[in-house]
Structures are given as C-alpha cells and as structure tokens.
Structure 1
Amino acid sequence: MTAVPLIANSPAEPRLVMPGGKVAIIAPVDGDTRLAQEYRAQGWRCVAVRLGGGHAPAPGHLPHRSGYGEEFVHDEGLRHTLERLRVSEVTSVVAGSHRGVALADRLAAELDLAGNDPATSWLRTDRGVQAAALRDAGLSAPRTLSTSSLTQALKWAGFCGMDRFVLASADSAVPLEPALCRTTTELRDAWERLRAEAPRHTDDPEFVVQEHVPGARYLIDTVSGPVERHPVVVGLWRETLTEDGLHQRTDAVPGTDPHARSLKQFALRALPVLGIGLGPARLHVALAPGSGATLLRAQAYVQEGPTGPLHGHACDPVRAAATADVAGLVRPVALPRRFTTRMTLAAGDDGFVDARVLRRLRSLPAVAHVCPGLTAGAPVRRTVDEASSPGHVVLDGQDRRTVEDTYRSIRLMETGGLYAGA
C-alpha cells in the first residue's frame, strides 16, 4: 500500500497516512452517524470517542450498528485515551461536535497526526476571543464584552450607548438564538433566560454582549484537507430573520450571486486568524450594504448543511469534510445553480397539524422534503423561537419563481388552516 504524505500539526514535520485509514470521531452527537457513514463509504473505519457523562455501548450492543466499528468513553484521562487510539491505529482525529473541538486538537497533536494547533483551540470556540482576534487582524467583528457578570454587562451596554445589542453564550456553538435587546430591562430578562438554558449546551459560564450588526446573514461552510491545506468554500447560504430575530428561511446562494465572491474572500482571510488550517468550519457572517462582511461567530467542526444531504456535494459539508480527510485535499466546488430553501415553520398559537392542509402542502411543486415531525394531528405550540417551531420544509427547483410561489403558498397555509385550533 502506498503512503500519502501530509502536513501534520507542525508544518516542518511531515507525517504519513495510509489510504483506507481509520478516523477517531471525538464527541459525536448521540444518534447522528452521518459523518461516520461518509467515511465508511470511502473505505475508512471509524472509532467513536464519547466524553465522560456520555454512554458506552450497552451490554450485547454491536458497535457497527451504531455506525462505528469501535466506541469508548473518554473518562480515564488523556493518557488512557491516547493509548486506546494508538492500539486502534487511528490515522485521523476529528471533532464530531463542538464539545470535541479542543480534545480533538490535543489528541491529534499528541498522536503526531494532522490537526489544528491545540494552543489556539479557544479561537475556534469563543465568540469574544474570535471578535478580538479579527479586529486585531484588521477584519470586521462587532464590539464585544465577555463577562459572567450581569452588572458588568449592563454597565458596558450603557457606556457604549448602543441602540440595539445582542446577548449570547460565549461558546460559539451553543444553538440558542442570541437575544436582541433594546433596553437594559430586555438585557436583564435575556440574561436570566440564557443563564437557565445555556448549561444544557455548554460548560462555559460566560456570555458576550455585542453590538447589533445590521445586514443580511450568511453561513459559509469551508473545508481544507491535510495535504495542501487550501480551504475551499463548499456551501454558501443566506439566512432571513424576523425583526425579533426568529429564523424564517435559509437560501442556498448561487454562484451567480453578486456577493458570493466577496464572502468567499472574507472567509479565506478570516480562517487563518482563527487558527483554522485544517478540516471543516462554518462562519456566521453579516453583510451590511456599503460596509462589507462582519464575522458574528465561527465553528470548527463539521455540521449538516441547512437542507441536509438532499442536494449533492455543492451543499453537503459533511461529505466534503470526509472526502477532504480521505483524499488529503479538496477540489474546487461550484456553487449550485438550483434554488434551494429551508423554511422554518411558525404557528401563531397552540393547535395541531391539519391532515387535509398538510396533504396540500406536500403536493406543492417545489416541496422536496418535509421534516419527519410534521405529521397529521401532531400538536404545535405558539412559535417563539426555532425550538418551538412546528418544523421545517425544504424547497428545491431550477426555477426561482416556482420556489418563491411555493414558499408564499405555505406561509398562507400557516395562517389559513395548517395549524387547526391555532
């Protein structure tokens, strides 16, 4: 078998990885084996390393049924986990979620495998640190205070005199929506709400207060392989929110979009500042007219694209990440020419899903996928955030008008009987 040279943590020390290797996926999301499936489809074996407090395979459980050939829990210290991985002869270490980023960096370095510098893991996980790093590098990021003190947050917001500001967990991967605040009362209320909810997603006790950045929101998915380490944009999406910050829709940005080039260039400048030289990343960016792109937060682990694995490589960051690791490099990806939208549904009140209207929705011409939870008779709550949404629908087509007509039809259905009793 022929070895393939690659660049490891230290560019001065090349290492070798064999084709048909084995990847350790650190802290994978329970029940999500998509990344492992993509590696296995390309001839690699997979090891799941779960964090302490997770679950080991139950007695009699066959690991391959969970999507992995091997599983164990990282609960006996770094030395023990390193020994397990050496015995398993892993050739790559990747994060399976935000909780695995720092540990994956450390394990890869200790095993002399390709990875990002563990000394800068905090650049890839902390909103406040990310904002400071980009501003120091001459790139745009919002003014930010990192703090665990509500008193400090209130003082800073008042001192800056901002009309609107945002409160969020300092952990850049926490899925809770940032709270848009206009007054100190709103900031107090948001602080108490996030302080109660954030511990379910992160151990980081800090929050960030940031100036509100106007403009369109974009998601930029990138990946780079261990041989050339040239990042490639593999997905570009525009998000549309309500005035209150609720998600409405996410649209795939076609290559013909006038902002696609500038957003790609911004991403390629920001990645090295954040210490992301290898593997997948997702940048959340605001683009205001006349002022260019501003980084809101960055995440350095693979995530499913907004529409899932439904529409091929151009919008499939999971497949792209596995392919880059296996092949060692990334081929340029053409952004799609189709029009693809993920719309988040919203109920005006409590109720249940009407079967007749749901059948009409499913028959609309651009509907490509309806989330499994949207079923006839399913209860719905009044939508106040993405977590309380009845679900989502993916629209897809070669004609923009058809997609937009379908989108408008579904919004009319939401106020015209889709949620019976609402």
Structure 2
Amino acid sequence: MRVAVVDGLSSGRELTRELIAQGAECVHVLSSPTLSTYYLSTFQPADYVVDLGYDEDRTVTAQRLLALGVEHIVAGTESGVRVADELNHLTGLPGNDYALSGARHHKHRMAAALQAAGVDAPRSGTATSVAGAVAWYRGSGLADVVVKPAASATTDRVRVCRNAEEVERAAAGIVGTPNVFGQLDDEVVVQEFLAGREFSVNTITVNGVHQIVESWVYTKTRTADGAPIFDFEEPADLNAPDTHAVHEYVGRALTALGIRTGAGHSEIMLTDRGPLLIDPGARLGGGVLPWVATKFIGHSHAALAATSILEPQQVLRLTGEIPRPWTSPIRYVSLINRADGVVKSLGWLRRLESLPTALAVTTRLEPGDPLPRTTDLISSPGYIYLSAQTPEELRTDYETIRRWEDDGLYAS
C-alpha cells in the first residue's frame, strides 16, 4: 500500500518508519512553506518514494496523490492535521469527519463541538485582538484563566493568568506572532483554568471504534510568568476508577470530534466535575521513543497507528487486550535548563546516562549550540526515560537530575 504522510516530521518520522517496516511505501506532503527549522530538521527524505513538497493548490496535490496510487493519507504531526483532512476530503479516501475538521485543531471550536454533543468541555472564548481577549476575560467572571494560541502544539506560549494585565501580556505574545510551526497566529483562546490531575491518552481508531493504547499522568511546574513546563510523567494506574473515568470520557470526546480513523493524542484534566479535554490531537503524541513502549507493554502508539492503516482488523482484534500495564516502574523526565548559556560539551549527556535507572536519553543539542532557559517544550534540552524495580529508585535519580540542573548541568 502507498500511504501519504502530511508533515512526516517529529512523531511523523516514527510513523513513517513503522509504515515502511510493515511493508508500505510512503509519499510525503508538506503542509506549509513556513514550517520552523525545529520541525524541518527531523525530516528524512530517504524514507519516501516520492516527496511532493508544498503546493498551495490542494486540488493539484490531491490529483497527484491519486495518480501515484496513494490509498491512505495521514497527518504525521499536528501541523499536518488540517491538510490531511482536506486531502482526504478532496480525494475521497477514508478519513475523519471533514465537517468537524476545525474542532480537531482549534481549541475553542473543540469545546463548542464537545458541548454540542453533550460532552462536558472547558469554558472558553476566542479573540482576534489583544483587546478582545481582555474584554472576554473581564466579562467572563473567571478569576484564573489560561491564554493560549487557538491552534498550535506543545505548551507554545501557553500562560496561566490571574488578572486582566496578565491576560493582555499573554495575548500580545500570541496575536500576530509565529507559532511553534512558524505560522502567524491570528487568534487567541482564553480558557477557564482547570485544577486537577492531567492525563495524556493515546488512542487508535478504526471505523469509529476507539482503542486506548496507553495513558500517562503529567506533572508540570510553572515559570514566574505563568508558562507551564513539563516536569515528568508516569503511566496511569489502569485499575484506578479515575483512569476508567478518563478513558470513558475520551471515547465520547473522540466521537464528538468526528474522529473515525487513525491515531489520537488527547490531553485531559481530571477535575472535581469530571474529566475535561483541554487539547485534542488527531495524530500521534510527540517526543517519545517508540521502542521503550514496545519493550514494556509489547507495542507502541506508532506501530499500532501503522497497523491500523495497513491491517485494521488486527487492531480491532486487540479489543480487551489493550491498554496493558507497564511491566516495570518508569518515569519520563523532561530536562529543564535553568539559565541562558551555550552548550560547551555533551559531558552532561554521559552523566545522565550513568544514572542507575537511566534507560534512554534524547537531545538535539550539540556543542556550541545556544542554550536557552527552559520556558516550554521546545526550549527543553531533551528528555530521559528512567526505569527501575521500585518507584523509590526512580525518585532518587529524578531528584539527582534536578540537583544537577540547579548547578548548571547543561552548560558545564
């Protein structure tokens, strides 16, 4: 089978590798001519039999894909979701509900679609100006809110705000400025602040049937100006009632958003009033090493996404078998750099690898690279998986990492 991948970047690279490993040929489509270097640097052209690049005329691209014998079109990463939807619509190939495409990448439309389907969602407003964002906040009666781009990824310019001045400052950093994909944002979302435990849930959908692949619980910290920073995450307890409630909610949310096929990555806040979707993703989750999941639970999100395209019945046969518990305690730790600097060497990488529980460390940094203070996922030096026989061993090495970071680990 020939599969077109729109933006085979970041997590899309892992999806393409799995498709090839399972016998597919891949064709590449670029969603935009202005994607950021951060994403473009992950592109591997040798993985594709044809690279169509970018064409602003989607009809021409759709015709070329059909002429190449493409039978399936999928988004590799968040930047490709809208274009994949449009190309599936133009070609008539199987995809998600085109009428709800906007709800799968626009955070305010997401909430509206959920509420229209009777699924609880965060209260939110949208504005195309700083003044409009402030006006919505003042009229909302909310004390704390989250200001974020209407369409982006990671924690790109997300801010927790507690007054109109903070909302104004956060909105000014979004409207008319490039997002993480290098595209100008013309809209800002102001959303009620939700307190609770944050889950990420990875799913695969085949013919409208949703399967949970894995679930994680996030722990985040916050900068002085309200920017959330990923700290660490651990697999959710699959036997816990809270996890069951989150999984049931995710299934209803995916249906409400018109997801009929493919991978999903949903970020859910479990609040006093129940689970609430704060960020949808009709694609794989990013920033992971698929082999780690395969080692501990027997499969990865990327591998099952590829299988759902090539052999969908195999995924349906997993009903009742997934999700599976991890066979050992594991912690995914996001690396946090405390101060601006320059990478002098990769000696810090070897220090992290020497930790007793270190399983794998990933970074894009090279000696001589600028080393910004971590304010979001993009400015993190990388991440490390820790694995051990006991949670106490994980905590010990995690605390060691944070002490080393306080002492300037990455600039040493």
Mark yes or no: TM-score above 0.5: yes
TM-fit CA distance, 1:399: 2.3
Matches within 5 A, 1:216-227: 216-226=197-207
- Note the alpha carbon deviations across 1:53-109, whole angstroms, 9 max, x for none: 279xxxxxxx99520111113426233223212221111111223333233223323
Residue 409 (structure 2) pairs with residue 418 (structure 1): yes
User: Residue 371 of structure 2 aligns to which amino acid in structure 1?
Assistant: V
Residue 195 (structure 2) pairs with residue 211 (structure 1): no
* C-alpha separation in 2, matches of 1:67 and 1:389: 27
TM-fit CA distance, 1:356: 6.6
Residue 340 (structure 2) pairs with residue 361 (structure 1): no
Residues 306 and 342 in structure 1, CA contact (< 8 A), matched pair in contact too? no
Judged with a 3 Å threshold, the aligned counterparts in structure 2 of structure 1 residues 30 and 76 are, in CA distance, closer, same or farther, namely same
2:398 maps to: 407
TM-fit CA distance, 1:417: 5.6
1:393 corresponds, among 361, 379, 384, to 384
Residue 210 (structure 2) pairs with residue 231 (structure 1): yes
Q: How many residues align?
A: 391
2:336 maps to: 346
Judged with a 3 Å threshold, the aligned counterparts in structure 2 of structure 1 residues 173 and 355 are, in CA distance, closer, same or farther, namely closer
* C-alpha separation in 2, matches of 1:139 and 1:83: 38
2:303 maps to: 319
Residues 202 and 264 in structure 2, CA contact (< 8 A), matched pair in contact too? yes
Percent identity between matched residues is 29
Residues 123 and 192 in structure 2, CA contact (< 8 A), matched pair in contact too? yes
TM-fit CA distance, 1:274: 0.6
Residues 127 and 172 in structure 1, CA contact (< 8 A), matched pair in contact too? no
User: Residue 375 of structure 2 aligns to which amino acid in structure 1?
Assistant: V
SS in structure 2 at match of 1:401? helix
Residue 279 (structure 2) pairs with residue 297 (structure 1): yes
- Note the alpha carbon deviations across 1:356-406, whole angstroms, 9 max, x for none: 765443211111112234678876343333333333222123422221221
Residues 8 and 16 in structure 2, CA contact (< 8 A), matched pair in contact too? no
2:263 maps to: 280
SS in structure 2 at match of 1:236? strand
SS in structure 1 at match of 2:331? strand
TM-fit CA distance, 1:50: 2.0
Residue 134 (structure 2) pairs with residue 138 (structure 1): no
SS in structure 1 at match of 2:70? coil
Matches within 5 A, 1:126-205: 126-171=106-151, 173=153, 175-195=155-175, 196-198=177-179, 200-205=181-186
User: Residue 303 of structure 2 aligns to which amino acid in structure 1?
Assistant: R
Note the residue ranges of structure 1 that are not aligned, 5 or more in a row: 1-20, 56-62
User: Residue 411 of structure 1 aligns to which amino acid in structure 2?
Assistant: R
* C-alpha separation in 1, matches of 2:347 and 2:29: 45
SS in structure 1 at match of 2:33? coil
Residues 266 and 293 in structure 1, CA contact (< 8 A), matched pair in contact too? yes
User: Residue 135 of structure 2 aligns to which amino acid in structure 1?
Assistant: K
TM-fit CA distance, 1:291: 2.1
Matches within 5 A, 1:52-91: 53=33, 66-75=46-55, 77-91=57-71
Judged with a 3 Å threshold, the aligned counterparts in structure 2 of structure 1 residues 308 and 192 are, in CA distance, closer, same or farther, namely farther
1:255 maps to: 238
TM-fit CA distance, 1:224: 1.3
Residues 220 and 233 in structure 1, CA contact (< 8 A), matched pair in contact too? yes
Residues 216 and 286 in structure 1, CA contact (< 8 A), matched pair in contact too? yes
TM-fit CA distance, 1:276: 0.7
- Deviates most, 24-33 or 319-328: 24-33
Judged with a 3 Å threshold, the aligned counterparts in structure 2 of structure 1 residues 279 and 132 are, in CA distance, closer, same or farther, namely same
Residues 92 and 114 in structure 1, CA contact (< 8 A), matched pair in contact too? yes
User: Residue 311 of structure 1 aligns to which amino acid in structure 2?
Assistant: A
Judged with a 3 Å threshold, the aligned counterparts in structure 2 of structure 1 residues 278 and 161 are, in CA distance, closer, same or farther, namely same
Residues 25 and 94 in structure 1, CA contact (< 8 A), matched pair in contact too? yes
SS in structure 2 at match of 1:154? helix
TM-fit CA distance, 1:296: 0.5
1:336 corresponds, among 326, 330, 333, to 326
- Deviates most, 336-345 or 262-271: 336-345
Judged with a 3 Å threshold, the aligned counterparts in structure 2 of structure 1 residues 128 and 315 are, in CA distance, closer, same or farther, namely farther
* C-alpha separation in 2, matches of 1:224 and 1:182: 38
TM-fit CA distance, 1:202: 3.7
TM-fit CA distance, 1:319: 1.4
User: Residue 246 of structure 2 aligns to which amino acid in structure 1?
Assistant: L
Residues 290 and 302 in structure 2, CA contact (< 8 A), matched pair in contact too? no
* C-alpha separation in 2, matches of 1:368 and 1:93: 34
Judged with a 3 Å threshold, the aligned counterparts in structure 2 of structure 1 residues 300 and 202 are, in CA distance, closer, same or farther, namely farther
* C-alpha separation in 2, matches of 1:74 and 1:356: 39
Judged with a 3 Å threshold, the aligned counterparts in structure 2 of structure 1 residues 301 and 32 are, in CA distance, closer, same or farther, namely closer
- Note the alpha carbon deviations across 1:266-308, whole angstroms, 9 max, x for none: 11111110111111111111012x3211111201122336454
1:246 maps to: 229
TM-fit CA distance, 1:177: 4.2
SS in structure 2 at match of 1:386? coil
* C-alpha separation in 1, matches of 2:80 and 2:215: 24
Residues 202 and 213 in structure 2, CA contact (< 8 A), matched pair in contact too? yes
* C-alpha separation in 1, matches of 2:348 and 2:393: 19
Residue 97 (structure 2) pairs with residue 117 (structure 1): yes
SS in structure 2 at match of 1:266? helix
Residues 353 and 379 in structure 1, CA contact (< 8 A), matched pair in contact too? no
Residues 98 and 301 in structure 1, CA contact (< 8 A), matched pair in contact too? yes
SS in structure 1 at match of 2:280? strand
* C-alpha separation in 1, matches of 2:154 and 2:49: 29
Note the residue ranges of structure 2 that are not aligned, 5 or more in a row: 36-42
* C-alpha separation in 1, matches of 2:333 and 2:304: 24
